Structure 1
């Protein structure tokens, strides 16, 4: 029977191996870039809310973002979903730009939730927030869009 023995070291031999293995695993996860952590979709069909709009999202920091070229505040508790529909921590994708479906809070106008889209989802048409429709008519009766 093999037992851990101390040979002048404050840690037994088997504990040193476990410690080295744990450190090696932690270095591998630290070295992986954030882009590698957000993989392509797995063929899932995600049901987006009817109120979700399409846009381009760049996370500036954990409180601010740029949505369709305009600065916007991120709501406390904002959820960012990966293409696999898992939560993405915003600090892990700072500075990256994604094509997203998103929902704004009605009362504050802050970004409430966003879904990073796969290429197939991005190809499907959805209304974006960059279209402005008004009910103002000109003398010729044309509707401005």
Structure 2
């Protein structure tokens, strides 16, 4: 192990920076960081720019989430499947409770066996402009009234 034999070679004096200069430097770094982050966080991506592949069975409609298990689809109340997935325009999952009360133009898929809402994709303006079949009536396998009996 090598040890310093002379005090001048071992202990170099640290450069002195006044507290004012330290504070000014810290403030400048903080302002630069905030200026760089603020514009990026204010921008929202309208979509990926790519067309998303929707299932062939997907229909077009207007969706509004009412409760954790109920939504309004094309003006009519419908139950949501327990594993219902709601996708944002960026194709990320959206938790249904965060968009309660909001109305969206969507492509949606219903479960064949239960008629519940299985999945919905919130559309961008470009996707909403593309033609797609949709219905104003919700088709389910549940019928009521006098025509409910099977013949």
TM-score bin, normalised by smaller chain: 0.5 to 0.7
Q: Could you tell me which residue of structure 2 aligns to residue 106 of structure 1?
A: 112
Larger Rg: 2
Query: Structure 1 runs of 4+ off > 6 angstroms?
Result: none
1:44·1:84 contact (CA, 8 Å) conserved in 2? Answer: no
Deviations along 1:35-71, one digit per CA (max 9) or x if unpaired, are x9x8521212100000000000000011000000000
- Structure 1 distance, partners of 2:137, 2:129, is 18
1:81 Cα deviation after fit: 0.3
Query: What is the TM-score with the length of structure 2 in the denominator?
Result: 0.60
Aligned pairs for 1:1-145 (under 5 A) are: 40-130=46-136
- Structure 1: which 5+ residue stretches go unaligned? 1-35, 133-145
Query: What is the TM-score with the length of structure 1 in the denominator?
Result: 0.63
Report the count of equivalent residues: 96
- Structure 2: which 5+ residue stretches go unaligned? 1-41, 139-151
